[in-house]
A and B are shown apart, each in its own frame.
Chain A
Amino acid sequence: SQELEQSPQSLIVQEGKNLTINCTSSKTLYGLYWYKQKYGEGLIFLMMLQKGGEEKSHEKITAKLDEKKQQSSLHITASQPSHAGIYLCGDSHVGGGSEKLVFGKGTKLTVNP
């Protein structure tokens, strides 16, 4: 079965600093999701990447997909305390006639003011 490895597992940065979170798949990546989770809450969809080399941005968050490396990266510019949370990458793949979603273990981000 596919595994998604995220690095780092946790990250503490000072407000205003840039940071990058990586997600590597054990299988070919045809697309990737990025989600954010506040502690004790559901997941909020950030963005989805479907094509190799694709790059998307939402406010100060940019994600890229490198399908050759089976990897995606999430970059936050000028981090703010509101960026704190758990970031999860996910992939859907066909199983049993439908698409099932699997996720990495997440990266816990702390932004100190």
Chain B
Amino acid sequence: SQTIHQWPATLVQPVGSPLSLECTVEGTSNPNLYWYRQAAGRGLQLLFYSVGIGQISSEVPQNLSASRPQDRQFILSSKKLLLSDSGFYLCAWSVIQGYTEAFFGQGTRLTVV
């Protein structure tokens, strides 16, 4: 069966520090991968999605970047965090073809102080 792992669960980082959030998927190959951010009053915002290794599409301009160094690994990064980067970050995967549901990780609560 397929599983998705996302870590850490919570993170408190000072402004200006770097960020690295990792997401890995097991039990499937060549998935679509997604990073979302959920902030109060703004809903679930799609940040990045990827259809394959090294292929990253960005939805909104921001202080963040994403990378997919391996088929089932998706990393969200920042060189210097801003206060506005605080939020709940969710990773998700779906099969690459067809209209099927996405499966979500448990999320990372990031607080930038």
- Residues of A near any B CB (own CB < 8 A): 30-31, 33, 35, 40-45, 48, 50, 88, 90, 92, 95-106
Contact = CB atoms under 8 A, between A and B. Distances in A.
Contacts of B103: 45
B99 A100 contact: no
Interface stretch (B13-21, B66-74, B105-113): B105-113
5 contacts: A40-B88, A43-B90, A98-B32, A98-B57, A104-B43
B44 interface: yes
Given A41-B106, A42-B106, A45-B103, A99 B43 contact: no
Closest 6 CB pairs of A and B: A105-B43, A42-B104, A98-B51, A103-B44, A43-B104, A45-B101
A99 B44 contact: no
A106 B43 contact: yes
Interface residues of B, number: 28
Contacts of B34: 100-101
A30 to B, nearest CB: 8
B107 A88 contact: no
A40 to B, nearest CB: 7
Given A48-B101, A100-B49, A95 B44 contact: no
Contacts, number: 75
Report whether over half of chain A's contact residues are helix, strand or loop; otherwise say mixed. strand
A42 B44 contact: no
B101 A99 contact: no
Given A42-B90, A48-B99, A88-B44, A100 B57 contact: yes
Contacts of A44: 104
Nearest to A95: B57
Contact of A98 (B41, B49, B92, B104): B49
B106 A33 contact: no
B90 A106 contact: no
A96 B51 contact: yes
